């Protein structure tokens, strides 16, 4: 592996993914519009990725192989009201792409 393993953090109202020593992406929980999970089969293993999207088209993807992924996902229901989580999110057939919407921002009406 080249450099340290990516790390997922939640700090000061932001989701942060650090990759390597200098690169990081961050997104404010207040700016998030949608969260989806995708399971993809990469021949040797299956990987679950969770994508966070804002209204301006920015996105952050975190992987189940990132350090502290599980801890971040466990905190989401307290940060994003209505977040449904990853329980039961497993592909039934090899090479099938599975996708689930985990959360969508509800506009005040």
Listed range (11-15, 70-74, 93-97) with the worst mean pLDDT: 93-97
Range with top average pLDDT, 33-47, 67-81, 89-103: 67-81
How much is the pLDDT for 108? 44
Range of the domain at 63: 7-84+97-104
Has residue 89 been placed in a domain? no
Number of domains in the chain: 1
Has residue 27 been placed in a domain? yes
**To 10 degrees, the CA torsion angle through 66, 59, 49, 84?**
110
Question: Which letter does DSSP use for residue 13 in this model?
Answer: T
Check which CATH number belongs to the domain holding 27 and give it: 2.30.29
Has residue 60 been placed in a domain? yes
How much is the pLDDT for 1? 47
Write out the DSSP string of 36-64: EEEEEE-SS-EEEEEEEEETTS-EEEEET
pTM of the predicted protein model: 0.87
| Residue 89, both tokens | 């999110």
């Amino acid at each position: 592996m080249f450099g340290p393993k990516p790390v997922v953090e939640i700090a000061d109202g932001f989701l942060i993914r650090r990759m390597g020593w200098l690169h990081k992406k961050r997104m404010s929980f207040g700016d998030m519009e949608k969260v989806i999970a995708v399971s993809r089969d990469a021949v040797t293993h299956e990987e679950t990725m969770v994508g966070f999207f804002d209204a301006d088209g920015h996105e952050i993807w975190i992987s189940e192989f990132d350090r502290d992924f599980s801890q971040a996902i466990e905190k989401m229901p307290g940060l994003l009201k209505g977040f449904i989580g990853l329980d039961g999110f497993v592909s039934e057939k090899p090479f099938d792409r599975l996708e689930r919407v985990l959360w969508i921002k509800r506009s005040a009406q």
